Chain A
Amino acid sequence: MILGRVIGEVWATRRDPRLGRAKLLVVRPQGLYEPAFGGRHLVATDDVQAGIGDEVIVCLGAPARASAGGNDTPVDAAILGVVDRVDFDAGLMLAPGAAPGIKRPFSIDLTAGGRR
């Protein structure tokens, strides 16, 4: 799962029938996660009535499909939760090698927007 901020909404009437009427939101990932294809955004289905500006938890891959209305939904990203609060040690997160796979410092910007 990744942390991201909802920054917009997408409307698509012509869609794969298995997508149903799922609401589609545009999410900008926080931190180091780089979405596939380099567009710096994800489009995810919304199960939890998230709104624009909310910080959300996004699940990627197979579990996303299961939550988005059953295993026969062709989605690869789903919003599973609206984040009320994140606590993290800025000092630790800013250090290279803070966690496995983190080779350069990064920070999470939770300052703008969101209903917290």
Chain B
Amino acid sequence: MVMGRVVGRLWASRQAAGLGGRKLLLVRPETASGKETTRLIVAIDGLDAGPGDRVLVAHGSRVRDLTVGPEVADKDVIVGIVDGHEVTAP
């Protein structure tokens, strides 16, 4: 998994059946110390996260199968909403 910040929501009126109208969030991965990276992930949200939330994104087809279902056409899934994190070691 990787930590990231939800920076927005994504709508698409024309979309593949595999996305099935599911909620798509834009997540910007962060470094362990909370610095934003330049990447952007479109992740499926099953936990009702919203912009500003720090989330855990897991990647992979099996992760997708277990969380939102095998019919969904996305392999990045939000599996946790971070309450807090602490990075202490160098």
Contacts and interface: CB of A to CB of B under 8 A. Distances in A.
A38 B39 CA distance: 7
Nearest to B41: A37
Contact of A39 (B2, B83, B85, B90): B2
Given A16-B80, A37-B57, A40-B31, A10 B85 contact: yes
Interface residues of B, number: 36
Interface centre among B30, B31, B63, B81 (most CB of A within 10 A): B63
Interface residues on A, range: 35 or more
Contacts of B81: 12-15
Nearest to A45: B1
A61 to B, nearest CB: 7
B89 interface: yes
Interface string B61-90: 011001100000000010111111111111
